[in-house]
Amino acid sequence: MTPRNEKGARKSPGGKAGKKEAAKAAAAAAKETAAPAAAPQPSVTAIVLNYNARLETMLKCLASLERQSYRNLHLLLVDNASTIDILSEVARKHPKVELLRLDRNYGFSGGINRGMAHAGSDYVCLLNFDTIVEPSAIAEMVAVAEGDHAIAGVAPKMMFADNPHIFDSVGTAMVENAGAFNQAIGQPDIGQYDIPERVFGACFGAALLRKSEFKAENTGPLDESYFMYFEDVDWCFRANLLGRGFYTAPAAVVYHEHSASVKDMGYNYKYRLIELNLLRTVVKNFQRRQAVRISLTRLRTHLENALKDGNGRRLVSLAIITAFLLDLPQLLPKRWEVQRRRQVKDRDILRHSFRELPYYDPAGYHPFYQLETLIAAYRRLHALTGNGNSLAIWRGLEALASSKLKFEPDVLSQRLAELLADQPEHVRQFAAQVREE
């Protein structure tokens, strides 16, 4: 029987009141069952440091950043008081890029520190002006960083711009004698680094870093006594000492014109900065016994160079020794501060570089076209995948390297062609340049 109201009129479930109540009930049910709203993307500032960059090179870098799939991204170009003005043209062609003009050249460390202080984001993506970034690169790096808040930085897969199948870097490595280098440099890419993995550090030519790590209570800013080179190694070492980590993001691809800003200056200029800053890093960061041993060994080598004629290193080695000794009074208080906060031993940091070696000539700017480079690539590929074909190639290369037949050019080229017949074209091209002397 249909119910009636007080006046005797029938109540209709389909009336306006009923429809309103039903709509409210449906909305409440939908609200209860709806998925929670997606968390906002962390903010990222891409910082590109400029000092007298070629306009064409800079524009390519900025264009690649504007093609990024990651949306919560701000672009900041920091100019280190360049004497060549490209900023007006940059502003015209890329009006969304913020320009920060510094009053003088603060070097790499000082320029980055000022850009970092200016950025108001969760992460910063440091990029050399001679890089080109694949559209998904920043998104891929953020995805890795968001997996663990103890991650201080993420390293992309950086390839040579003029040889895009050869590694420039997949993170950085440091070994027991304080030799530091780009992990994988000089190796052909055959998939041997295709997993995200813990590494010693990230090359700041292209790296995503957690901005909060630059606060004084955390790792802190870059050391501005490092005008350029090794400032990233020093910073990554300090982060490791505090228990922070660095990981690779091999799906994030960056192409880099290696050492574009210093190739015309001669290798001794680069050598002086690297060797001096290496000694500074050793004194500050290594445990005492290792710091003394490595410093004395390095200084002895430079002293031997300084006493020899005709080796091309006499004056530069003398300059390194002099600058280091003058710098020592400022280094010791820095060491005390770093060691006071240490939480991790050296051996636990250096194991992230286990058996890694560079396969690249830093003076000639080319890979080592040798059997050892291919052996390293296929050994690691087999360790990663367990693939039988990679094992057969690795063993074949090892056999060839341990035989004097490697010095017979015809035998060497024939065996390499046979071993690598089913491998990618870029690997066979690499093998065609292998020479053993």
Q: Which residue from 342, 298, 363 is spatially nearest to 324, judged by alpha carbons?
A: 298
Q: What are the two backbone dihedrals, phi and then psi, of residue 93, each rounded to the nearest 5 degrees?
A: -90, -25
C-alpha of 128 from chain center: 11
Which residues, 6 or more positions from 287, have their beta carbon under 8 angstroms from its beta carbon? Answer: 339, 345, 346
Q: Residue 12 — very low, low, confident or very high, per pLDDT cuts 50/70/90?
A: very low
Domain boundaries, the chain: 44-256, 263-344, 369-432
At residue 247 the predicted structure's pLDDT band, cuts being 50, 70 and 90, is: very high
Q: What is the pLDDT of residue 19?
A: 53
Tokens 């009141």 belong to: 17
Q: Please list the alpha-helical segments (H only) found in 155-287.
A: 231-241, 267-285
pLDDT-wise least confident of 151-160, 217-226, 304-313, 316-325: 304-313
Res 254 pLDDT > 70: yes
Least trusted range by pLDDT, from 112-121, 243-252, 260-269: 260-269
Q: How confident is the model at residue 7 (pLDDT cuts 50, 70, 90)?
A: very low
Q: Are 176 and 72 spatial neighbours (Cβ–Cβ below 8 Å)?
A: no
CA 243 – CA 344 distance, rounded (Å): 6
pLDDT given for residue 260 in this prediction = 57
pLDDT bucket at 2, cuts 50 / 70 / 90: very low
* 8 Å CB contact between 43 and 122: yes
Please state the rounded mean pLDDT for residues 262-279: 81
Task: Identify the band that residue 307 occupies on the pLDDT scale cut at 50, 70 and 90.
Answer: confident
Q: Return the sign of the alpha-carbon dihedral for residues 232, 104, 127, 220.
A: positive
* pLDDT value, residue 26: 56
What is residue 216's predicted lDDT score, i.e. its pLDDT? 95
Task: Report which of 398, 342, 343, 392 is spatially closest to residue 374, judged by C-alpha positions.
Answer: 398
- What's the pTM value of the predicted model, to 2 decimals? 0.88
> Which CATH code is given to the segment(s) 44-256?
3.90.550.10
- Asked if residue 235 has pLDDT above 90, the reply is yes
Q: 99 near 91, Cβ under 8 Å? A: yes
Task: Using a pLDDT cut of 90, give the percent of the chain over it.
Answer: 82
**What per-residue confidence (pLDDT) applies to 312?**
73
Q: What is the mean pLDDT of the segment spanning 120-125?
A: 97
Determine the Cα–Cα distance for residues 99 and 118; give it in Å rounded to an integer: 11
The model's pLDDT over 61-118, given as tens digits with 9 standing for 90+, comes to 999 999 999 999 999 999 999 999 999 999 999 999 999 999 999 999 999 999 999 9
Burial of 366 (0-12, 13-18, 19+ CB in 10 A): middle
Mean pLDDT, the chain, rounded, equals: 91
